[in-house]
Amino acid sequence: MNELLHQTLSGLATGGIYASVALALVMIYQATHHINFAQGEMAMFSTFLAWMLLQAGLPYWGAFALTVVLSFVLAAAIEFAVIRPMHKAPELSVVVVFIGLLVIFHSLAGWIFGYTIKTFPSPFAANAWYGSQLMSAHEVGAIFVALVMVALLFSFFRFTPLGLAMRASAQNANSSRLVGISVGRMLMLGWGLAGAIGAVAGMMVAPVVFLDPNMMTGVLLYAFAGALIGGIDNPVGAVLGGFIVGVLENLIGSYVVGTELKLSVALVLIVGVLIVRPSGLLGKKIVTRV
């Protein structure tokens, strides 16, 4: 029983990371109806940046904050330089660009930082009071960080004029322009935020899975499953989905298929959701009267 509880809680911890990456995916999907397949690799690259800053002697939270800012700028720059010129291109071309970005970041990280596996520190001391037999301090901390991030984003979108403008331009670009919103800038901002969220997720997962260019490959797949389960156009759903996938992955991995086949759980979930309920658990169907 204790073991089951432990597996569930530890699933919640990885779930928090999937939830974060799923949130980053939804962020870009909502605004552009594209899945950024390079999201995971961008997060991995960000984590390497954090590692570099730590090597340079910065304190953890200093490196953390700087990495978030740098990742924001990097992702916004990618939107501006690579994605924006594609805005009239067919769907498939955009997908190819995303895969191109994935490969570029993967190789770039390997080329600059090497393929050897590196340890990445956790900001949460192993013997902290909130750690226990059931859940390590880092697991508790990672869940906390994910929840804080979700709360911040929710408040941003719900209560600030800029957040409202971002939601508006995702929905109706022409009407947004007519009220004076620069839709291009909102897209850039969306990419920046997604990049920053990914960076946080990367830094939270790295202490667990260790840092190397392949770090996020599996995470992205789980995050994608999470986003689909929750509803690819719904941020709350994506977070919920991320946690569900984290727990399912851990439980099914420990009790049913074993750790080697864990990744296939994500694939089964993706296919299952697409067949049974394509709009996800909380996927929104917008009611419209004409």
Partner 1 sequence: MSHLLEVRDLHARYGNTQVLHGLNLDVAEGQVTALLGANGAGKTTTLRALCQLMVQTTGSITLDGVALNSRNTEQIARLGVGHVPDGRGTFMALSTEENLRLGAFSRARREGLAQDMDKVYGYFPRLRERASQQAGTLSGGEQQMLAIGRALMGRPRLLLLDEPSFGLAPLVVKDIFAIMRRINQEEKVSILLVEQNAKLALDIADTAYLLETGRVVLQGSSADMRSNDAVRRAYLGE
Residues at the interface with partner 1 (CB under 8 A): 161, 164-165, 167-168, 171-172, 174-183, 284, 286-290
Cβ proximity to partner 1, 119 vs 171, nearer residue: 171
User: Rounded to the nearest whole angstrom, what is the least distance from the CB of residue 84 to partner 1 in the complex?
Assistant: 14
User: Rounded to the nearest whole angstrom, what is the least distance from the CB of residue 17 to partner 1 in the complex?
Assistant: 29
Cβ proximity to partner 1, 183 vs 203, nearer residue: 183
Cβ proximity to partner 1, 177 vs 277, nearer residue: 177
Report yes or no: 118 and 51 within 8 Å, Cβ to Cβ.
Answer: yes
Q: Extract the runs of DSSP E, i.e. beta strands, from the chain.
A: none
Cβ proximity to partner 1, 1 vs 88, nearer residue: 88
Alpha-carbon span 196 to 101, nearest angstrom: 17
Alpha-carbon span 243 to 17, nearest angstrom: 8
As a residue count, the chain comes to 290
User: Rounded to the nearest whole angstrom, what is the least distance from the CB of residue 289 to partner 1 in the complex?
Assistant: 6
For the four alpha carbons of 253, 258, 259 and 264, in that order, the dihedral sign comes to: negative
Q: How far is CA 60 from CA 14, 50, 52, in A?
A: 21, 9, 11
Cβ proximity to partner 1, 69 vs 162, nearer residue: 162
Through-space distance between the first and last CA atoms of the chain, rounded to whole angstroms:
55
User: Rounded to the nearest whole angstrom, what is the least distance from the CB of residue 96 to partner 1 in the complex?
Assistant: 26
Q: How far is CA 134 from CA 6, 14, 58, 131, 157, in A?
A: 5, 14, 32, 8, 35
User: Rounded to the nearest whole angstrom, what is the least distance from the CB of residue 283 to partner 1 in the complex?
Assistant: 13
User: Rounded to the nearest whole angstrom, what is the least distance from the CB of residue 223 to partner 1 in the complex?
Assistant: 24
Cβ proximity to partner 1, 92 vs 178, nearer residue: 178
Q: Going by C-beta distance under 8 Å and a sequence separation of 6 or more, which residues neighbour residue 285?
A: 279
Q: How far is CA 186 from CA 160, 245, 284, in A?
A: 13, 30, 22
